[in-house]
Amino acid sequence: MTEVSSPPFTPRSIDHPREELGLFPLLRTMVRNPLETWPQPLFTEPLFWQRFAGRPLLFVMDPALIDEVLVAKAQVFPKAPIIRRTIGPAVGNDSIFTAEGAHWRWQRRAAAPPFRHATILGFVPAFGEAAARAASVFTDRAGETVDIAELMMATTFDVIVETMLSGAASFDTRRFGAEISHYFDSVGWIAALSILRAPSWVPYPGKRRARAGNLFLRQEMVRVIAARRARPGMTPDLLDFLIAAADPETGRAMTDEELADNLLTFVVAGHETTALALTWALWLIGNAPEVEARLLAEIAEVVGDGPVEASHVDRLVYAKQVVQEAMRLYPPAPLIPRIAAADVTIGGERVAVGTPVYVPVYAVHRHQMIWELPQAFDPERFAPERARALHRGAFLPFGAGPRICIGAAFALAEAVVILATLMRAIRFIPIGGHHPLPTIRLTLRPDGGMPMRVERRQTPISHQTGT
Ligand code: HEM
């Protein structure tokens, strides 16, 4: 039973088409917002076949079948080519995110050390300091309307650079974010053209801009690697681990090109997603006074007036529930695309080799067979005893199986620390009449950003963090 007494806040949702769209409306909508092409059966049926330009594609929404695709039969369902086509130009086709088989495995092992539990807890002061800087920017702008999405991106970007690159690299954060956005904005075109089976050289609006952006991002990474080779870091960080790694099959180390691909993967995958989780969470909380009150009470009880410390993280149980519920409604990675590498049967359906098999995370998270009042914001769903009863294929903001997000625990700890630090200092007030709709740009962004009015809370917080 939920403890929230008034009806939970239910954000406006997208009007999904009843049936699949015809080819031209499909392509037009795909370029604008691929999420609007998802038909209603994705939210009600266990499986759904869609025909894209005559080719079948299977959407899998049933949690047990999702488990089969992503976990039990993961070997049969590698990442779909659309992943390489959409993000390969940015992060390379053989990085930890895009590679398969043995080449993926050794990169995953090489990158594992910074993501161990104890190491993550050691990053808590860095999370808190980045959040405190964001809180003081909001404090300076008290009473104004601010795009909180932009500031959350800058904050989680600082965190990635500080924790994974020992803060050694100095980047032009704004330019970096802008170039990533230019690239992500062109992804709808790439998806539409791949439905038409157009070769990758076909031009589309924004392609040259996106290419130039990619080049800039890559050059930035090459600069960081060259500086590190010239002057190694003191305490080994992600880059040091990647430089030191050797492929167990060939004994070779990563080339600078491969290092750049991987660094870019971590910087892009590791900040945009967490920033979006925080952005949607702050907006949802701003619309749900009872959730806000309970969250503030927990922060006061667990953290008190001092900085958020490593020992608080696991005790901020409700804050974690809020982040999870925000990621249920607005999963930062809304789609997990796979392809059948062999003829296979899923849920009694025969799936021929080469068929794309997609897990539409956004639809699974709002599915009528899985959730009560699926559109409502209710963090109680993730109360520990209720969360344990959830099927692991029902809630997958970080994916599942061997390719599950390597940064999941890092991201959750980071989000909880930033949320607790910000909430104590600042009130985030929704703008009347502004209902941000989610739009897929690889990740799930609020269309038009997330303008909110920011106010300083009565009791100021300490802007220092402990160690
Ligand atoms: C709320 C934050 C985050 C969300 C929602 C998220 C989501 C995901 C998802 C769904 C996948 C699996 C994709 C697939 O199976 O096709 C993934 C993979 C990955 N994520 Fe995250 N992620 C987040 C934060 C992070 C962070 C903080 C990092 C690193 C610092 C990171 C690095 C990666 C990498 C490297 C992969 C590829 C792993 C592999 O294929 O072995 N992510 N992420």
Candidate of 77, 405, 412, 445 to mutate for ligand 1, largest count of ligand atoms within 8 Å of Cβ: 405
Over residues 399-417, the pLDDT tens digits come to 999 999 999 999 999 999 9
Asked whether residue 259 carries a pLDDT value surpassing 80, the answer given is: yes
Name the pTM for this structure: 0.93
How far apart are the C-alpha atoms of 454 and 300, rounded to whole Å?
A: 20
**166-191: average pLDDT:** 77
Asked whether residue 463 carries a pLDDT value surpassing 60, the answer given is: no
Q: Give the residue with greater pLDDT, 181 vs 130.
A: 130
| Residue nearest (by alpha carbon) to ligand 1 atom 19 | 405
Q: From 1.10.630.10, 1.10.1240.10, 1.20.58.2240, 3.10.20.30, which CATH number describes the 23-456 domain?
A: 1.10.630.10
CA of 365 to the centre of ligand 1 (A): 17
Asked whether residue 387 carries a pLDDT value surpassing 90, the answer given is: yes
**With a 6 A CB cut-off, is 444 part of the ligand 1 pocket?**
no
**280-295: average pLDDT:** 97
**With a 6 A CB cut-off, is 96 part of the ligand 1 pocket?**
yes
Confidence of residue 346 (pLDDT cuts 50, 70, 90): very high
CA of 225 to the centre of ligand 1 (A): 22
Calculate the average pLDDT of the chain. 90
**With a 6 A CB cut-off, is 406 part of the ligand 1 pocket?**
yes
Q: Return the sign of the alpha-carbon dihedral for residues 101, 105, 106, 108.
A: positive
How far apart are the C-alpha atoms of 220 and 260, rounded to whole Å?
A: 9
Domain boundary assignment for the chain: 23-456
**With a 6 A CB cut-off, is 416 part of the ligand 1 pocket?**
no
**With a 6 A CB cut-off, is 70 part of the ligand 1 pocket?**
no
**271-279: average pLDDT:** 96
- pLDDT at res. 168: 67
Over residues 187-237, the pLDDT tens digits come to 777 777 777 777 878 888 878 888 888 888 888 888 888 888 887 766 778
Over residues 293-330, the pLDDT tens digits come to 999 999 999 999 899 999 999 999 999 999 999 999 99
Asked whether residue 104 carries a pLDDT value surpassing 90, the answer given is: yes
**With a 6 A CB cut-off, is 371 part of the ligand 1 pocket?**
no
- For the beta carbon of residue 415, count every other beta carbon within 10 angstroms: 26
CA of 60 to the centre of ligand 1 (A): 20
- pLDDT at res. 1: 46
Residues of the chain with pLDDT > 90: what percent?
Answer: 61
Confidence of residue 440 (pLDDT cuts 50, 70, 90): very high
How far apart are the C-alpha atoms of 82 and 337, rounded to whole Å?
A: 8
**With a 6 A CB cut-off, is 401 part of the ligand 1 pocket?**
no
**With a 6 A CB cut-off, is 334 part of the ligand 1 pocket?**
no
- pLDDT at res. 465: 40
Structure tokens at 245: 């790694």
- For the beta carbon of residue 40, count every other beta carbon within 10 angstroms: 16
